[in-house]
Amino acid sequence: MKDIWIRPARAEDADAIIALNDAAFGTPDESKIVAQLLADGDSLASLVAHDDREILGHIQLFRILIDGDDIAAGLGPMSVTPERQKSGIGRGLIKLGMTMMEGQGRELVFVLGHPDYYPKYGFSPGVAARYEAPWSGPAFMGIELSNTAPRTGALTYPKAFN
């Protein structure tokens, strides 16, 4: 992580973020979600990690409603350029992203992703399983950011996930 900075994405980063997501996932599906979240006003944070030459990583956070209340967040898509994976860039993006969600007063964060990766940051399938959601199973995980977070409820995901 030496000489790598993390900052909010700017409009002029859009093409690089699309290219990064497409390279990391090997399909354009995730970059379409990123663009749609932004277009629909459902993005809560979009952060990029970069060095002095290029963007190397990106994390997207978006709003999730619980029983209609705008109090939770979803994490993803998240991507690190293939040549620089497993060098700590993802860790930096998640840590700053979660700090921002806590700062925004989000009570819970959910993620659908690698079951071996997100538990490193406190995400657990047991937390997510308490809520009615479009997903279930070990890849669907959640983390509470507040001790007043509702323990159950129905999650509404943004239109970008339809």
Ligand X SMILES: CC(C)(COP(=O)(O)OP(=O)(O)OC[C@H]1O[C@@H](n2cnc3c(N)ncnc32)[C@H](O)[C@@H]1OP(=O)(O)O)[C@@H](O)C(=O)NCCC(=O)NCCS
Binding site for ligand X (CB under 6 A): 24-25, 78-80, 85-91, 113-114, 116-117, 120
Question: Which of 66/80 has CB closer to ligand X?
Answer: 80
The distance of closest approach from Cβ of residue 110 to ligand X in the complex, given in angstroms and rounded to an integer, is 12
The distance of closest approach from Cβ of residue 161 to ligand X in the complex, given in angstroms and rounded to an integer, is 14
Burial of 35 (0-12, 13-18, 19+ CB in 10 A): middle
Q: Cα–Cα–Cα angle for 146, 154, 21, nearest 5°? A: 75
Question: Which of 75/145 has CB closer to ligand X?
Answer: 75
Question: Which of 64/89 has CB closer to ligand X?
Answer: 89
Residue nearest to ligand X (CB): 90
The distance of closest approach from Cβ of residue 30 to ligand X in the complex, given in angstroms and rounded to an integer, is 8
The distance of closest approach from Cβ of residue 62 to ligand X in the complex, given in angstroms and rounded to an integer, is 14
Burial of 86 (0-12, 13-18, 19+ CB in 10 A): exposed
The distance of closest approach from Cβ of residue 59 to ligand X in the complex, given in angstroms and rounded to an integer, is 8
Rounded to the nearest 5°, which phi and psi values hold at 125? -65, -30
Q: How far apart are the first and last CA of the chain?
A: 35
Q: Half-sphere exposure (CA, 13 Å, Cβ side) for 70?
A: 8
Question: Which of 60/156 has CB closer to ligand X?
Answer: 60
- With the CA atoms of 23, 110, 159 and 16 taken in that order, what torsion angle do they form, in degrees rounded to the nearest 10? -30
Question: Which of 117/135 has CB closer to ligand X?
Answer: 117
